[in-house]
């Protein structure tokens, strides 16, 4: 028996309302979608704006004469401040030395080791000796560590220079820059002058240090079992490292056993924050520890894993055919082969290498603006990739 007309109408309307509501429920997520990738910020406020102090105890301090320069039983460990530098950069090197001596090394008196591909001048030696009580060594880089390797085809190099200069790769045509990056990547720690040295602090000419540091930084690395300390984390120009990640993947395919069980491969492969960089660098985020500042344990670079990785990269030729920097090479190796909990952010060491800063909120600092990342153009703030490191690793 058919329903009355009014009942049929009511049923039809109810059905329509039901379908309409189901439709709304399924449509709902679209309205609360996250902003498109690339615009997601991992933080809205730089953590350096928050007050911070020293890293955790134990911290070794000056007591009596325990760090005096000539004390044969000093508390210093096997470590050195280290700089590759040219004679022409003397004034800029003195600037860096004065800052680091004032804020830290006049207390701890760690030796300086200067490296150069040429003989240091007497003036360089005299004037650098005048700004520290600590011992200084002046070393020449062995020819076989500096020369362009025999397997590099110079015609191909020149062609690559033309192509990548066109793509705005900085320093592409400067052969010595390629040699410097290669040496810093895989050879510095093989220098005979460092044979008995385990920890190093890399210092470049023309950098600034802003904060008093009152503990033995090298001893801290050792006591806390740290492999590497960084200060600034930035994106690289992807055109300079196009095949670095693909070559790395080839290496990993044959050497998976070298990967650390607690690695930071997600940090290396992030494509959320700057998808364009990841795409151009063929899977590498390009985020790296800025290696003009490094405090490290050379055992890591001297490990079999790293040596084999460096040899693989060296044979592939990208130190010349592209412009692989020591910063991405070191960072990728650390991200893969090191335990990420052994990598430390030295937030307390106020620092500047043009155009970036690390400036903590700490009464021990002066001469920099708290929390400021750059004093260059505003777009440079985008180059800060610390949010990625903090997301995939930690702020420790
Ligand atoms: P940037 O920081 O990437 O612009 O590169 P720099 O010009 O500062 O070079 C990095 C480091 O390597 C600095 O400590 C330089 O003094 C050093 N360096 C670069 N090229 C040479 C070179 O040909 N000879 C020597 N002795 N040192 C170099
Ligand atoms: Mn520099």
Give all strands of the β-sheet with 356-358 in edge-to-edge order: 208-209, 351-353, 356-358
**Cβ atoms of 372 and 221 closer than 8 Å:** no
Element containing residue 24 per DSSP (H, E) = helix 5-31
CA of 14 to the centre of ligand 2 (A): 73
Instruction: Tell me what pLDDT residue 8 has.
Output: 74
| Other beta carbons less than 10 A from residue 193's beta carbon | 15
**Cβ atoms of 353 and 291 closer than 8 Å:** no
Cis peptide before 58 (omega within 30 of 0): yes
- CA pair distance 13, 114, nearest whole angstrom: 86
CA of 84 to the centre of ligand 1 (A): 7
Instruction: Tell me what pLDDT residue 37 has.
Output: 39
Q: Comparing C-alpha atoms, which of 375, 296, 281, 365 is closest to residue 328?
A: 281
CB distance 117 to ligand 1 below 6 Å = yes
CB distance 291 to ligand 1 below 6 Å = no
**Cβ atoms of 388 and 233 closer than 8 Å:** yes
Could you give the angle at the alpha carbon of 186 between the alpha carbons of 183 and 192, nearest 5°?
A: 75
Q: Which residues pair with 384 in a beta bridge?
A: 234
Instruction: Tell me what pLDDT residue 302 has.
Output: 98
Protein residue whose Cα sits closest to atom 15 of ligand 1:
85
Ligand lying nearest the CA atom of residue 184: 1
What SS3 class is residue 138? Answer: strand
- Which residues of the chain, if any, have pLDDT below 50? 1, 25, 27-40
DSSP code for 200: E
Q: Comparing C-alpha atoms, which of 226, 134, 148 is closest to residue 181?
A: 148
Residue whose CB lies within 8 A of the most ligand 1 atoms, among 84, 294, 323, 354, for a mutation test: 84
CB distance 92 to ligand 1 below 6 Å = no
| Other beta carbons less than 10 A from residue 334's beta carbon | 27
Element containing residue 267 per DSSP (H, E) = helix 265-269
Ligand lying nearest the CA atom of residue 120: 1
CA of 271 to the centre of ligand 1 (A): 31
Rounded (to 5) percent helix, strand, coil in the chain: 45, 15, 40
Q: Which residues, at least 6 apart from 193, have a Cβ–Cβ distance to it below 8 Å?
A: 113, 137, 139
Ligand lying nearest the CA atom of residue 203: 1
* Average pLDDT over all residues of the chain: 93
Ligand lying nearest the CA atom of residue 204: 1
Instruction: Tell me what pLDDT residue 4 has.
Output: 74
Q: Comparing C-alpha atoms, which of 361, 356, 243, 205 is closest to residue 290?
A: 356
**Cβ atoms of 89 and 197 closer than 8 Å:** no
- CA pair distance 158, 148, nearest whole angstrom: 13
Instruction: Tell me what pLDDT residue 22 has.
Output: 57
- CA pair distance 93, 84, nearest whole angstrom: 10
Residue whose token pair is 């960089």 = 277
Query: Taking the model in full, what pTM does it have?
Result: 0.90
Torsion of CA 279, 275, 338, 248, to 10 degrees: 0
Q: Which of 294, 322, 377, 383 is catalytic?
A: 294
CB distance 141 to ligand 1 below 6 Å = no
Ligand 1 atom closest to Cα of residue 118: 26
Instruction: Tell me what pLDDT residue 43 has.
Output: 80
- CA pair distance 294, 343, nearest whole angstrom: 11
Protein residue whose Cα sits closest to atom 14 of ligand 1:
204
Per-residue pLDDT reduced to its tens digit, 180-222? 999 999 999 999 999 999 999 999 999 999 999 999 999 999 9
Instruction: Tell me what pLDDT residue 223 has.
Output: 98
Q: Confirm whether 377 is a catalytic residue.
A: no
Residue whose CB lies within 8 A of the most ligand 1 atoms, among 81, 83, 85, 185, for a mutation test: 85
CA of 177 to the centre of ligand 1 (A): 7
Residues measured by CB to lie within 5 Å of ligand 2, the ion: 204, 292
Half-sphere exposure of 341 (CA within 13 A, CB side): 4
């Amino acid at each position: 028996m058919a329903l009355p007309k009014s009942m049929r109408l009511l049923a039809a309307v109810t059905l329509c309302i039901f379908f309409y509501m189901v439709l709304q429920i399924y449509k709902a997520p679209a309205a609360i979608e996250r902003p498109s990738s690339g615009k997601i910020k991992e933080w809205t406020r730089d953590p350096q704006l928050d007050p911070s102090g020293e890293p955790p105890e134990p911290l070794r301090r000056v007591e009596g004469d325990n760090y005096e320069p000539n004390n044969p039983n000093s508390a210093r460990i096997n470590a050195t401040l280290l700089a590759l530098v040219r004679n022409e950069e003397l004034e800029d090197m003195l600037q860096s030395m004065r800052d680091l001596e004032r804020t830290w090394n006049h207390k701890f008196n760690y030796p300086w080791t200067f490296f150069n591909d040429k003989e240091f001048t007497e003036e360089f030696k005299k004037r650098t000796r005048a700004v520290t009580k600590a011992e200084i060594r002046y070393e020449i880089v062995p020819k076989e560590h500096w020369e362009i390797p025999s397997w590099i085809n110079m015609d191909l190099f020149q062609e690559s220079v033309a192509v990548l200069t066109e793509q705005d790769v900085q320093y592409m045509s400067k052969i010595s820059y390629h040699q410097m990056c290669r040496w810093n990547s895989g050879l510095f720690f093989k220098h005979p002058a460092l044979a008995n040295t385990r920890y190093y602090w890399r210092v470049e000419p023309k950098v600034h240090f802003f904060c008093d540091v009152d503990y033995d930084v090298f001893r801290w690395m050792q006591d806390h079992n740290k492999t590497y300390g960084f200060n600034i984390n930035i994106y690289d120009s992807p055109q300079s490292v196009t095949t670095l990640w693909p070559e790395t993947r080839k290496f990993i395919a044959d050497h998976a056993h070298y990967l650390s069980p607690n690695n930071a491969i997600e940090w290396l492969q992030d494509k959320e924050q700057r998808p364009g960089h990841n795409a151009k660098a063929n899977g590498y985020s390009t985020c790296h520890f800025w290696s003009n500042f490094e405090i490290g344990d050379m055992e890591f670079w001297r490990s079999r894993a790293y040596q084999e990785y460096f040899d693989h990269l060296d044979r592939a030729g990208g130190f010349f055919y592209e412009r692989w920097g020591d910063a991405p090479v070191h960072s990728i190796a650390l991200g893969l082969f090191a335990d990420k909990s052994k990598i430390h952010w030295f937030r307390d060491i106020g620092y500047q290498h043009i155009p970036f800063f690390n400036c903590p909120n700490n009464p021990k600092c002066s001469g920099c603006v708290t929390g400021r990342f750059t004093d260059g153009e505003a777009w440079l703030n985008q180059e800060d990739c610390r949010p990625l490191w903090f997301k995939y690793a930690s702020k420790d």
